Structure 1
Amino acid sequence: MNLVSGASSISQVRAGKTKRVSSYDRSGGNKDFYTLLPHSKIEICNIKGSGYIRHIWMTMTPNGPFDIQFLPRKIIVRMFWDNESSPSVEVPIGDFFGMGHGITKNYTSAFLMMSPEDGKAFNCFFPMPFASGARIEIESEAENEVKFYFYVNYEEHDAIPEDELRFHAKWSRQCPTDGISDKDIDNAEYEFGGKNTTGEGNYVILEAEGKGHYVGCNFNVHNLRATREWNWYGEGDDMIFIDGEHWPPSLHGTGTEDYFNTAWCPQQEVCTPYHGIILGGGPNWGGKISTYRYHILDPIIFEKSIKVTIEHGHNNHRCDDISSTAYWYQTEPHKEFERILPLKDRLPVPDILPFNDDTINKVFSHANP
C-alpha cells in the first residue's frame, strides 16, 4: 500500500477488532513504563490468534542519573510469529527504527521514523501479519536500568489469508570491511581502479531463502579512512542476486548513492517517504553517514532466494565500518539467522579526528580487540 491508496481506502468498511498492548501502569498510577534490568530479557507482547500488527511506538531512557552512551545499540528487539522458536526480527533497536551508529535523530520516512525529542520516539508502520500468535521480546545489554515505554497497536481477526507473508528484519555489520591498503597506491587507483566481475567480497545486506520480496534497508557507514586525498566512500555498485543467479545479476546498479536514489557524492540531509540521507558525514566525506532506501512501491521479488549486496568502495577497495538493517516479507520457515554480534562488536568505534596514523591504529584496535 502506498500513501495515496492508503488515503483513498480510509472510508471503506474494515473487518477485525483494534487492540493494543502497552506499558501503561496496571495499577492506574503513572508508572507507565517497564524496567529493563541490565543484561536481561523481557517479553513485552504475546498476542494469541490471528491478526496484523499495524503500528509500534517505543521510547526509552536511563532509569536514573546515568548517561548510557550508544543505548540504541545496547537494546535488541526480537519478533516471533506463529509460535516459531527462531526470531523473524532480531535487530538493535535504533537500527530497527531506521538509523545506526547507536544514536537517534529526527527523520521521517513512510514506514519508519524517529520523532522528537531528538529522535527518541521510535515509530514503525510496517504491517506484520500473524496466523497463530505474535510475540515481541526486548533484551537489554545496557549497564544500568532503562525505563522502556511502548505501544503495540494491532488488529485481531478470525483468520488471515493464506498468502500473507511474514515480516522479517535482520541487522548486519562489518568493521572494518575487507578492503585493501591505501598505502603506496595512487588515490585514483584506490578509489576507481580494478574490475569486479564476480560480486565476491561485496558487503552483504541480506541473504534469505524462500519465496517473498525485499522491501529495503537502512545503511550506515563510518568512514574510517584518514586522508586529505579524495575520500568518497560510496563508489560501490549494488548487486542483487535473485534465485541463485550468477554475476552479472539482473539487478546491477551504478553506485552507492545511486541505489539510495541520490546523486553526485551527496552530503545534504533529506528525508522522503522511500529514500533519504539522515546523516551526511563531515568534511571530505569523513565521519558517520546514515541513509535508507525502502522498496515500498517497487518490492524486489524472489521465488527461492535473494542475496542483496553492495561493494564497499569500487572493487571492494575500502576498509570502512558498515552496518545495515534489511527488511523483507517471505514464507515460513525462514533461514535461521546467525547469532547477532556480541555487544563489544556492535558498539560504534570512536570518531577519528584529527587525521593521523595513531588515531587510525586506535580505531582498528577497538574494532578488532
Structure 2
Amino acid sequence: MRTKIKTRRMDGFWRALFLTRLLMLGAGSCAAPALMAAEQPLYEMQKEAESEVIWTRTTIPANGKVDLADLSGEGVISSLWCTFDVKVREKYNYLGRAIVINMYWDDAEKPAVSVPLADFFGQPLQVQGTDNALFNSSNGWGLFNSLIPMPFRSSARIELVNDSDIRCIFYYQVNVNYKKLSDDALYLHAYWSRQTGVGFRDQFTVLPEVQGQGRYLGTTWGIIQDDVQKRWPWYVRPVKIDFDDKKNSTKPDGSSIEVGTLDDYLGSGWWSSEATPGSYSFPYTGRSYVSVDDQNRLSVVCYRYYIIDPLWFHKKISMQIGPHLSKKIKERSSDWSTTAYFYLNKPENNLPAIQDTTIRTLGF
C-alpha cells in the first residue's frame, strides 16, 4: 500500500533536504522510508537531465570584478562552494563585506542577488564554522557553502565585485543540473541592508516592499549592540511581516505576522535570563555566533529560514524590526545588517541597489 504525502508546492529537493536533515538529527529509521519515497528518488535516472561541475580557481583583481559562472540553458544551480586563499586570512571579515556577490538570471540587467559575500553565506560578522539547512562551513578559514537551489530558464551569471584594494586568489565550485523546469519554478533573490546608530525607538527595515508572487525563504541578522550589560534588552523588538494585505487574526489592525520579540521569532525565548548567553544552531533557526568584547559590545548572528513552514505571497511582501517595546530602558545604539532571501516569479525585483563600500565595511 502506498501512502501519499501532500505538501504545498514542496518540490523533491526541499523534501529530500528536509528528510535528510531529519536523519542527521537522529530521527532514526522512521525517516529512511520517507526519504526513499520522495519525488525523484536518488536512484532514479532522469533521462533529460545533464550535470556540470565547475571546480577551479580565479584571481579577484583589486577594485575589479570576475565571473564565477556564465551559464546558458535551463536548469538549477544546486550548490555553490568557495573559499579565499589563506594568504589574506587576516582580511577575511573585511573582504567578506568589501566583495559583493551578484547573481543574474535570464539575461536580466539588474542582479536578483546583490549581497556582501560573507553575509550571503550566513557569516555577516565573523567568518566562522557554521551549519544549518541552507549554509555550512567546516571552520573559520574563509569557507562558504550554499545549498539553496537557484533555477534559471535561459542563462545564469554569478559575479564577484571587489570594492577593495586587495587582490586575492579565490577557489570555487558550482554544481549545475540542466533540466526542464516547471512553469511554477521561481527565481532566487536576496536583499542586504545595514543601518548603524539604531536607537531603541527606531524601526529597521529588513525588506522593503517587494511586488510579485513568491516565497519568503528567510533572514540572516548580524547585530552589534553597544553597552549590552548583563541582560539582553536589545532583542525586545517586534518582528513584523506584511504580505498580500492579510491581517493577523489576533491583531486585525497590525501586520500579517507580528511576533512580540526577536528571540520568540527565532524559536527561542527568555534570552535575558540566560546566565551566559551562548550560540546554538538548528537547521532552520539559530543564534550561530555570540561574542562580548572588553568594551561590553555584543555581537550576535541569528537566522530564521522558512523551509518546512513555507511563507507564500501572491502580491507583495515586506519586513520590519522594532521599535523597542520598553519605555524605561536606557537608550543605547546598535548596528543592524540583514540579508533577506526570497523566491520571486520574475528575474528582477524593484529593490534599491546595494549600499556603498564605506557603509558595508565600517568597523571591519
TM-score range, shorter chain: 0.7 to 0.9
Q: In structure 2, which of residues 257, 262, 265 is the aligned counterpart of residue 259 of structure 1?
A: 265
- Paired residue type of 2:254: P
Tell me if the contact between 1:54 and 1:128 (Cα under 8 Å) persists in the aligned partners.
yes
Residue matched to 1:337? 351
Q: In structure 1, which of residues 294, 298, 314 is the aligned counterpart of residue 305 of structure 2?
A: 294
Residue matched to 2:176? 154
Q: Cα 1:169–1:335, aligned 2, differ >3 Å: closer, same or farther?
A: same
Tell me if the contact between 1:232 and 1:285 (Cα under 8 Å) persists in the aligned partners.
no
CA distance in 1, matches of 2:278, 2:222: 15
CA distance in 2, matches of 1:67, 1:322: 21
CA-to-aligned-CA distance 1:283-307 (integer Å, 9 cap, x gap):
8984200011111111211111001
- Paired residue type of 1:209: Q
Residue matched to 1:354? none
Map 1:132-281 → 2, pairs under 5 A: 132-157=154-179, 159-180=180-201, 202-207=203-208, 208-224=210-226, 226=227, 228=229, 230-245=231-246, 247-265=253-271, 267-281=277-291
CA distance in 1, matches of 2:352, 2:98: 18
- Secondary structure of the equivalent of 1:167? strand
Q: Cα 1:177–1:64, aligned 2, differ >3 Å: closer, same or farther?
A: closer
Q: Does 1:78 align with 2:102?
A: yes
CA distance in 2, matches of 1:275, 1:227: 23
Shift of the alpha carbon at 1:14? 2.9
Residue matched to 2:65? 41
Tell me if the contact between 1:166 and 1:329 (Cα under 8 Å) persists in the aligned partners.
yes
Q: In structure 1, which of residues 99, 102, 115 is the aligned counterpart of residue 138 of structure 2?
A: 115
Q: Cα 1:219–1:65, aligned 2, differ >3 Å: closer, same or farther?
A: closer
Runs of 5+ unmatched residues, structure 1 = 24-32, 181-200, 351-369
Runs of 5+ unmatched residues, structure 2 = 1-13, 21-34, 248-252
Q: Cα 1:298–1:285, aligned 2, differ >3 Å: closer, same or farther?
A: farther
Shift of the alpha carbon at 1:71? 1.6
Runs of 4+ in 1 over 6 A off after TM superposition: none
Q: Does 1:22 align with 2:59?
A: no
Root-mean-square deviation over aligned CA pairs: 2.5
Percent identity of equivalent pairs:
26
CA distance in 1, matches of 2:298, 2:229: 14
Tell me if the contact between 1:312 and 1:318 (Cα under 8 Å) persists in the aligned partners.
no
Q: Cα 1:39–1:298, aligned 2, differ >3 Å: closer, same or farther?
A: same
Q: Does 1:57 align with 2:81?
A: yes
- Paired residue type of 1:222: I
- Paired residue type of 2:285: H
CA distance in 2, matches of 1:134, 1:203: 32
Q: Cα 1:14–1:235, aligned 2, differ >3 Å: closer, same or farther?
A: same
CA-to-aligned-CA distance 1:329-356 (integer Å, 9 cap, x gap):
1111543331211111112437xxxxxx
Report the TM-score, using the length of structure 1 for normalisation. Answer: 0.79
Residue matched to 2:6? none
CA distance in 2, matches of 1:60, 1:301: 36
Residue matched to 2:336? 322
- Paired residue type of 2:321: I
Shift of the alpha carbon at 1:89? 0.4
Shift of the alpha carbon at 1:319? 2.9
- Paired residue type of 2:238: D
Deviates more, 1:165-174 or 1:328-337: 328-337
CA-to-aligned-CA distance 1:219-278 (integer Å, 9 cap, x gap):
111002x37575521001111101245741231112111111111116221111111111
Deviates more, 1:50-59 or 1:304-313: 304-313
- Paired residue type of 2:270: W
Tell me if the contact between 2:66 and 2:160 (Cα under 8 Å) persists in the aligned partners.
yes
Map 1:83-94 → 2, pairs under 5 A: 83-94=107-118
- Paired residue type of 1:146: C
CA distance in 1, matches of 2:245, 2:333: 27
Shift of the alpha carbon at 1:13? 3.0
- Paired residue type of 1:250: S
Shift of the alpha carbon at 1:174? 0.8
Tell me if the contact between 1:63 and 1:144 (Cα under 8 Å) persists in the aligned partners.
no
Tell me if the contact between 2:228 and 2:234 (Cα under 8 Å) persists in the aligned partners.
no
